Structure 1
């Protein structure tokens, strides 16, 4: 079997088992007792954290809502987190985080072990080829083709509100990802970050472009406790990588995958905006990514993945693993949200 024959990213065996009784559409909001208990303990200054030491989540939804509460302590704006940030490294919080992440990583790892020859790629050329192989699979998911050709205006607005852009939080993630790197890899990530910052022009900062998109389309803000579980897992994945230094190789691969895939997907979003007559302010965010990300994707391979694979051979397959994990979570999310919107429209 060659790299191009490797299995496409899909759900892990454990995930499939856990969701065997679930419908094809996103898991409906359900009570999250562990996440609620953690939020209350954090709000009270830590009282009651010790009682959570052996408490398990009610389900996968509760797991990811709980982890997102923890990740907020590490990466959310301080004006939102407030004094709770003091509990970032509280022993009981750290123990809960490690326990829930351990269960999740076991699922992700079992999925990776089924990826065939991707798991044993060696040397810069094989690693880059494996990265491109992962990116090529479902580069244009059915959800994006649906946006371009079929979705109604309301469906497009709902999907984009949940999607959050092709790289939601990418600027903060890339800033964390470059810590400790050197050489061309650090330069490439720095160049990428500078583009995220609009190359010094506030109006061109990608988060500002996204705010224009939100205003133009009147995208709703969906509260976290109303998000489908697939969206929660996808969001939590960034926190998993950002708060575990040992996962730096996987983070480099996951972010590189975004750069490889965002351009073609953004072009399909633009087709949908054209077809539905969207306001002009809805365009700059996706135009920027459609034009710039293909260049970033190539440079990420040539100047980060390839040299890092040569300098640190043990990182090669791990970078591919991060890309594979991210691809699987993306496809799971896209399919579930599209199913929900199509079913809701049919009803």
Structure 2
């Protein structure tokens, strides 16, 4: 059998700046690593919707993933850059708390799986994005949805994997079991990120990593930034697990409807495999995530049980805001992506 070697995928290029903060940051990153004075920054509105803030945070976080073409890898741990990131994270976390209040701690003796299930049941499901994609969306609207999701799905599972070395016992074993499936059980063609690339190719979209970064708005970046924030800080390990659990507990049925919508629009089995796979995988992962992973974690570290619920609430709330953004845009006959004139103006 002939050997198959992975082709090296080029790193993404630095995106187009969206304001004075990213203009300055990208100028610094284009130079060899050096000390610089982090600029002061105040958002011009809600942090989740500030284009300059969210893109700057995304760029800082991306240095811990695959980096950027032409940016020295040594920037990853540059003290000046970390100081800037710390300031931006403080603003971002304050913005998250304004939108997502800290849920009350579960009553003593309440199993974490029940507390999570109650939180999911009490959450407003939003404007019915999945049903719209299944029954009414046109092909361009479905392509827009996929472009948004590509920012995370092309690195699917990576942010949550940061938690593995920070756990022990039952919680660690459960997370490894979930992540093993996310990474295709060691088979490249079954990795969920690769399945999503097949969906993108079927929709005639560029499937290269980061190809659509300039097109997505701040809110889409904030969804990914929340995962990176939780993943890159040990103090947020409980929130990271809760975020993953909420995703696993609420994604099986939406993925079933996404697959129906894509097939209605002419997608074949290869195009829909990403969604089909999640219908089965996430149904199984739901129990593992809520009972073994989060339940095991809360039993081992009861002081962080409330953090688990907060991470879940963040994931659920941001998904609702994302659905509202898409549906509001389409209801008004507009694109949910950034307009070409704003991109050209760097806004």
Deviation readout 1:73-110 (Å, 9 max, x if unpaired): 112x15x3555321222222111111111112122224
The alignment partner of 1:344 has SS state of: coil
Cα distance change on mapping 1:165 and 1:68 into 2, 3 Å: closer
Q: Tell me the equivalent position of 1:182.
A: 168
TM-score after normalising by structure 1: 0.82
Q: Are 1:131 and 2:119 matched, yes or no?
A: no
Q: Distance in 1 between matches of 2:153 and 2:220?
A: 13
Residue 139 of structure 1 and its aligned partner are, at CA, apart by: 5.0
Q: Tell me the equivalent position of 1:236.
A: 225
- What's the C-alpha RMSD, in Å, of the aligned pairs? 2.5
Cα distance change on mapping 1:112 and 1:334 into 2, 3 Å: closer
How many pairs does the alignment contain? Answer: 312
Structure 2 unaligned blocks of 5 or more = 1-15, 336-347
Residue 170 of structure 1 and its aligned partner are, at CA, apart by: 3.3
Q: Distance in 2 between matches of 1:46 and 1:165?
A: 26
Residue 227 of structure 1 and its aligned partner are, at CA, apart by: 1.5
Partner residue of 1:74 out of 64, 73, 82: 64
Structure 1 runs, 4 residues or longer, greater than 3 Å off: 55-59, 80-83, 110-113, 138-141, 165-168, 220-223
Q: Are 1:88 and 2:73 matched, yes or no?
A: no
Residue 156 of structure 1 and its aligned partner are, at CA, apart by: 1.1
Residue 148 of structure 1 and its aligned partner are, at CA, apart by: 1.0
TM-score after normalising by structure 2: 0.82
Q: Is 2:252–2:279's contact at 8 Å kept on the other side of the alignment?
A: yes
Cα distance change on mapping 1:229 and 1:180 into 2, 3 Å: closer
Q: Tell me the equivalent position of 1:99.
A: 87
Cα distance change on mapping 1:345 and 1:44 into 2, 3 Å: closer
Partner residue of 2:198 out of 206, 209, 212: 212
Q: Is 2:17–2:26's contact at 8 Å kept on the other side of the alignment?
A: no
Q: Distance in 2 between matches of 1:170 and 1:246?
A: 22
Cα distance change on mapping 1:261 and 1:81 into 2, 3 Å: farther
Partner residue of 1:255 out of 244, 259, 273: 244
Q: Tell me the equivalent position of 2:311.
A: 322
Residue 189 of structure 1 and its aligned partner are, at CA, apart by: 0.9
Equivalent residues in 2 for 1:119-198, closer than 5 Å: 119-123=104-108, 125-136=110-121, 137-138=123-124, 142-164=128-150, 169-198=155-184
Cα distance change on mapping 1:189 and 1:242 into 2, 3 Å: same
Residue 223 of structure 1 and its aligned partner are, at CA, apart by: 3.3
Cα distance change on mapping 1:129 and 1:253 into 2, 3 Å: same
Q: Distance in 1 between matches of 2:174 and 2:272?
A: 26
Q: Are 1:281 and 2:270 matched, yes or no?
A: yes
Structure with higher helix content: 1
Cα distance change on mapping 1:297 and 1:139 into 2, 3 Å: farther
Q: Distance in 2 between matches of 1:106 and 1:55?
A: 14
Q: Tell me the equivalent position of 2:185.
A: 199
Q: Is 2:160–2:231's contact at 8 Å kept on the other side of the alignment?
A: no
Q: Distance in 2 between matches of 1:152 and 1:93?
A: 43
Deviation readout 1:178-200 (Å, 9 max, x if unpaired): 11211121111111111112123
Partner residue of 2:21 out of 26, 29, 34: 34
Q: Is 1:112–1:119's contact at 8 Å kept on the other side of the alignment?
A: no
Residue 291 of structure 1 and its aligned partner are, at CA, apart by: 1.1
The alignment partner of 2:332 has SS state of: helix
Equivalent residues in 2 for 1:222-233, closer than 5 Å: 223-233=212-222
Q: Are 1:339 and 2:328 matched, yes or no?
A: yes
Q: Tell me the equivalent position of 2:339.
A: none
Residue 68 of structure 1 and its aligned partner are, at CA, apart by: 0.9
